[in-house]
Structure 1
């Protein structure tokens, strides 16, 4: 285990021990606020009840996100309502899905779609994941074998995306996406899943697995707060920019008034 120490500590603050964990798919669930605070900064409504599960709703009320750790199997439930151009869709992610991977999908819900056609496999192949196709499914597996992404099509034509990760003890998580889930969201998820960047976990929250690599770091509370605030500030700035651009678009011309010499309604 490596150890790293941050410099320029603030006076009067006590450093806390954290760990950078790789691969991120085996890092455990993490702090749910990584997802919820970003959504709140993007204008999502927090409909959670006191001491109850997390429940967020998009500004247009078309998408709902819930996280419930109090039921079995528990975890994340994301639901999109049907619209003129998109059928109803859903995604379920297990309770131990790292919040950084969940955020890959949920952050994408707050951003405009790319003009390019989505490709779920591209982020995985970019990180040397192995692809194994057969008659009914295609499976991509991480280089260390701990995580996978799978596309399955049954004989009747029904399609489904699956994903997950497990350590040597069988501990881990699973994710499932409806066939109608927008592909750009599934790609955003696969990109976050395949990212080689480590994620941070506090002392006592690192899963006991021989498959993970940890680097010990001493972090000040003010540093953690600053990193979290930077993510929230970026979300607010992007939301403000989109709203400003939307309001600046020319409105539809008003309907012309009746000719000045035309008849007027009597009072």
Structure 2
């Protein structure tokens, strides 16, 4: 772009745009912090710097050092300060008092600076609102995920409680059936022992009865009495056989062989019914 020539008052107004001071005060370059003199350059956003400082700054980052608006080195405008007689007279007038035109220019520059600042604040506010919306959506997603995980955790706890109740109930039933089995085994053992004892007693009783019957049978001489004793002996044998065989026990703990069955009472052969001859028989 072609270089532009500004009067001293215009340069003072340009200098005062960033600092907000009047044209009487001298501004400084925000890059090198030195007072502005000759060799100035401006960007399309309106900010003024030293030409060399601006060239170095744009070489590092293509944006305005103040407002960060993107630009390029080709967009910068060289400013040349020219002091003429009219400018000197104007400077004298400025020393004695500001002219209405100068005040209007300052007011316009103040409005421009305020509008630019307002635009920057609006941009920052929009950026903050965008960040807030992003954070809000992210927070909403995290909250939804947390609620789902809390619900899953609650369901898992309910399942664990249900499984624990089932395990407790199964343990109670198992203990009950164990007690029933132990009681049944104990009763079965007692019944078996009682049955064996009963068989032994019945067999012993039958043996004693048969012994007495046979002893008495030897003393009986009457045939009818012998028949009765024979019937009694049959009844005793039937009673002994109904009670069951005599219990068997292993011969030793090593072989577990049953002992030979002990001699049970067997029926004696019936005596001959032939009547013996008495002393008075012929």
- Regarding TM over 0.5, the answer is no
Structure having the larger proportion of residues in strand: 1
TM-score when normalising by structure 1: 0.31
Greater relative contact order (Cα < 8 A, sep 6+): 1
Larger Rg: 2
TM-score when normalising by structure 2: 0.30
Structure having the larger proportion of residues in helix: 2
